Structure 1
Amino acid sequence: MYAVASIPFTDLGQVKKLIIKSAAAGADFVELRLDYWTRKETPPFLEMIELARNYGLDVIVTVRDPEEGGVWSPPWRGEAYEMASEAGAVCDVEVKKFKELPCDRAILSVHYFRKPPREGEVRKLSQRALEAGAWAFKVATVVTDFPSYFLLFSESVHPRTAFMPMGEGTEALRLASALLGSFLNYGSVGEATAPGQVSVRQLTKALSALGGRGD
């Protein structure tokens, strides 16, 4: 189980500060949310990958589709994933839309902002991710209570499944995800990138208490 610091990629100076802050908070990964870069030119993120690695952090590169919570659909999305792949980073793409895995280590993800998935949907999508050879499968969903969340969690057939409950008042469920064995656990070091997101420091404390850092 790993702690991931999700960083909106806006201003280079701010991104640098948040990478350093993520390392100090005990994160294992930083997620660079490139869809926050609203310029037409490709963001200069390779130097940020190098910086993160200098601080002992692995890197996830995400250009989130607007239909699943992204800021916008940039013209350089494909190019950014190619660059991330060549740099050896993890790439996060939507399981419902991918045609081929963009990186050797790819996360196939799905997001439910209005209501939880139908029964059996997580099982179906996780099976697709597993058969595609995805490094991990991620589900972010609105959820109201622990029993329903546990049922959704137990549907996944991928051995590396990350679950993120979303919505107001789900902070405790976020921390409980680690207890259930969520492979990746996302937190913020500044601006939250998802509703209900807790801080990375809270996550690392929870994971350390469980003695569950790593695969």
Structure 2
Amino acid sequence: MGLVTLDLPTPAQLRGRWAAYAAIRAARGRDRTCWADVPVWHYDDSGGNWAEVHHLGAGRAVLIGYDHEHSETYYGPAAEEFGEDETDVLAGAPDWWRPVVERMLAEKEYVGFVYGFDGDGWKRADYSAEDGFRSVGLPALSLEKTRESIISVAREAPGLGGSAPSPAAIEALIAADGDVTEAHVTAVVGAGGWDPAAGAAAARRFLAF
């Protein structure tokens, strides 16, 4: 069975968006929901839904995650636990996908989707079940979603007094592509109350890939 090609941003396209959102979350003091720790980029919604990119070198990456409400693929232990038919999310996949999956299962995580990037594009196994990827709500999937997510968090900043952040400042933060400074973060959240240094540091961790 062949793999299905997906229309998703490349890791290079995801980086600036993911790093920008991580910067605002870290400045807010909630950095455990969005972070980079070589070689992993992590996002979760604090409600049990998550997605990660694992960078494997040589231009390869694996995007893996789970939505506890919408993933209906029931891979591995989940199939037995929930009494559901298993969807083989690794069917037809190259061997280099598997270690990431095994690592997450060893950490007692359910796995709903596994996508591989080989330098040319993202692919997944061919199945019809809903895997939960879209419902996880990864902000970095689009510029629009990234902007909306940053605004949602940043408008709580004391330095903004309840106002929305500057659109130009948000664009500059994303365009920094991980090479974020304290000034970038301050321009978005305002001065006072939050920690732009923590935000910049969180974003810069994405520069490893």
* TM-score, normalised with respect to structure 1: 0.30
Q: Whose Rg is larger?
A: 2
* TM-score, normalised with respect to structure 2: 0.30
Identify the structure with the greater helix proportion.
2
Identify the structure with the greater strand proportion.
1
